[in-house]
C-alpha cells in the first residue's frame, strides 16, 4: 500500500506544496498533547497510508512539522495525528479549533512491516508519545486479529497522566491484545505496574523464534528494549524501531535527518534494527 501512495505523490508537480486540510476533531490526550483529526479539503487528493508513515503538517508563517499518522489505515479519509506542543509550529497547531485549516502533505516514510508479522507473535513496545505511530498497527491487528499470533503491547509513561489512548485500552484488550502498561512514577490513582517499560519483558513469555518486536519511544528506552529482546534471543532482524530526527522536507532533499548512511525520512522512519545498529545510540552521531 505504501509504495503506491508514494509513487502517486512523486508524480505531483511540486512535492513541497501542501494541500489544504481541515481540523475535524481535537481530542486532548495528556498535558500539552492532543490528537487532531485532519481531512483533506480536496477530494481528489490520493488517500491511503500504511501504519508508521507520517505527514508533514504546516501552518503558514510558523512552518512545517513531521507528525506520525496514528489512526486506522482502513479509514484513511480522516487521519489522526497526536501532537505534543513542543515547538513553534506545534504550539500554533495547539491553538487551532475544529473547523480551522492546516496545510498537509504526505504520507511519507517506510511503514511497519505488517506482512512480515502475519502468522507471528507481535510485540509492540513503546514509551510516551511513541505509541502514536504504533496505534495504526494495533488497530490494523484488531481488524485482522486472526492473521497474527499473540499481540502484546508493552507501554510505559512517566506518570499515569502521560499515557495516551487510555480510554481505548479496554477495547484493545477485549479484541485480544495483551496489554502491559506501567508508569515510572505512580500516584494514588494508579493501580497498575510501576517501573520503566523494558522491565515489562520480565512479565512476559516470548517465543523468540516467532516474535517480531516493533518499538518506538525515546532512544534510551529503545536501547534497553533492544537489549532485553536480544537477551531473549530475538534476532536483531526481527526488531523494528522508529527513529526521529529534525526534518525540513521529508523527501530526502534537506539533509537534516541523516543518520550515517540513512535518511530517516526516506529510508525510515521505521528501520529493521540491523539496518541502523552501528549508528544506533552512538553519542552525538
Partner 1 sequence: MVGSATPRVSATVVLSKPALQRVLDNLGNSGFQLIGPTVRDGTLVLAGIGNISELPVGWALEQKPGSSRLLRINSTDYFGCTVGPHSWKRYLFPPQTDLLTAHRNGKGWVFEPSPDDAPPFAFIGVRSCDLHAIAIQDDVFVNGNIRDPHYAHRRERAFIMATNCNTAASTCFCTSMKTGPRVHSGFDLALTELPECFVIEIGSEAGSDVLAGVDWQPASAFDLGRVSQLIQRTERQIQRQLTTSDLPKLLYDTIDHPHWDVIAMRCLSCANCTLVCPTCFCSTVEDHSDLTGSDTKRTRVWDSCFILDFSHLHGGNSRPTIKSRFRQWMTHKLGAWIDQFGRSGCVGCGRCIAWCPMGIDITEELSTLRSLGAR
Partner 2 sequence: MPANGKPRVAVFKLASCDGCQLQMLNLEDELLDLAGQMEICYFLEARSQVLDGPYDVALVEGSVTTEHDLERVRDIRRKSQTLVTLGACANTGGIQALRNMQDVDEYTRAIYANPAYIHALAQSTPIAAHVTVDFAINGCPISREQLLEVLTSLLIGRSPQLPAHSVCVECKRKGTVCVLVSKGIACLGPVTHAGCGAVCPGFGRGCFACYGPMESANADSLCQGLAARGVPRPEILRLLNGFTGWAEEFRSAAERLERATT
Residue ranges in contact with partner 1 by CB under 8 A = 6-7, 9-10, 13-20, 22, 41, 60-64, 84, 86-87, 99-101, 103, 244-246, 248-249, 251-256, 258, 260-263, 266, 278, 282-285
Per DSSP, 112 falls in state: P
Contacts (CB under 8 A) with partner 2, residues 33-72: 61-62
Question: Cell triple for residue 271?
Answer: 528501520
User: Read out DSSP for 6-65?
Assistant: HHHHHHSS-TTPPEEEEEEEEEEEETTEEEEEEEESSTTS-----TT-EEEEEETTTEEE
Q: Nearest 5°: phi and psi at 205?
A: -115, 135
From the list partner 2, partner 1, none, which binds 192 (C-beta under 5 to 8 Å, kind-based)?
none
- Name the one range near partner 2 by CB under 8 A: 81-89, 100-108, 200-208, 238-246: 81-89
Residues in the chain: 285
- Of 88, 173, 274, 278, the residue at the interface with partner 2 (CB under 8 A) is 88
From the list partner 1, partner 2, none, which binds 95 (C-beta under 5 to 8 Å, kind-based)?
partner 2
8 Å CB contact between 242 and 269: yes
Nearer Cβ to partner 1, position 19 or 169?
19
- Of 20, 25, 41, 87, the residue at the interface with partner 2 (CB under 8 A) is 87
Euclidean distance between CA atoms 215 and 154, whole angstroms: 9
Nearer Cβ to partner 1, position 119 or 261?
261
Euclidean distance between CA atoms 111 and 108, whole angstroms: 9
Q: How far is the CB of 258 from partner 1 (least distance, A)?
A: 6
The secondary structure element, H or E, covering residue 153 is strand 151-157
- Name the one range near partner 2 by CB under 8 A: 48-56, 86-94, 197-205, 225-233: 86-94
Q: How far is the CB of 118 from partner 1 (least distance, A)?
A: 27
8 Å CB contact between 248 and 64: yes
From the list partner 2, partner 1, none, which binds 183 (C-beta under 5 to 8 Å, kind-based)?
none
Q: How far is the CB of 102 from partner 2 (least distance, A)?
A: 14
Euclidean distance between CA atoms 147 and 252, whole angstroms: 34
Question: Maximum CA pair distance of the chain?
Answer: 56
Binding mask 140-159 for partner 2 (x = CB under 8 A): --------------------
> Contact residues for partner 2 (CB under 8 A)?
61-62, 87-89, 91-92, 95
Amino acid at each position: 500500500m505504501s509504495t503506491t501512495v508514494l509513487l502517486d505523490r512523486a508524480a505531483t508537480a511540486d512535492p513541497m506544496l501542501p494541500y489544504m486540510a481541515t481540523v475535524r476533531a481535537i481530542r486532548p490526550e495528556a498535558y500539552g498533547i492532543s490528537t487532531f483529526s485532519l481531512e483533506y479539503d480536496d477530494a481528489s487528493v490520493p488517500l491511503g497510508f500504511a501504519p508508521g508513515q507520517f505527514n508533514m503538517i504546516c501552518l503558514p508563517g510558523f512552518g512545517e512539522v513531521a507528525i506520525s499518522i496514528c489512526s486506522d489505515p482502513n479509514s484513511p479519509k480522516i487521519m489522526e495525528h497526536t501532537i505534543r506542543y513542543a515547538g513553534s509550529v506545534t504550539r500554533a497547531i495547539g491553538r487551532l479549533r475544529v473547523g480551522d485549516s492546516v496545510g498537509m502533505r504526505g504520507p511519507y516514510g517506510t511503514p511497519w512491516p505488517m506482512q512480515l508479522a502475519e502468522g507471528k507473535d507481535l510485540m509492540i513496545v513503546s514509551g510516551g508519545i511513541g505509541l502514536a505511530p504504533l496505534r495504526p498497527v494495533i488497530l490494523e491487528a484488531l481488524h485482522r486479529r486472526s492473521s497474527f499470533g499473540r499481540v502484546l503491547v508493552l507501554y510505559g509513561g512517566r506518570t499515569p497522566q502521560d499515557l495516551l489512548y487510555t480510554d481505548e485500552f479496554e477495547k484493545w484488550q477485549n479484541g485480544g491484545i495483551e496489554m502491559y502498561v506501567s508508569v515510572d512514577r505512580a500516584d494514588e490513582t494508579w493501580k497498575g505496574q510501576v517501573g520503566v517499560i523494558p522491565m515489562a519483558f520480565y512479565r512476559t513469555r516470548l517465543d523468540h523464534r516467532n516474535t517480531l518486536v516493533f518499538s518506538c519511544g525515546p532512544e534510551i528506552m529503545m536501547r534497553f528494549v533492544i537489549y532485553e529482546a536480544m537477551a531473549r534471543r530475538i534476532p536483531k532482524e526481527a526488531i523494528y524501531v522508529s527513529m526521529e530526527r529534525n526534518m525540513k522536507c521529508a523527501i530526502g532533499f534537506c539533509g537534516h535527518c541523516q543518520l550515517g548512511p540513512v535518511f530517516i525520512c526516506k529510508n525510515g522512519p521505521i528501520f529493521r534494527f540491523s539496518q541502523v545498529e552501528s549508528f544506533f545510540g552512538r553519542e552525538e552521531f
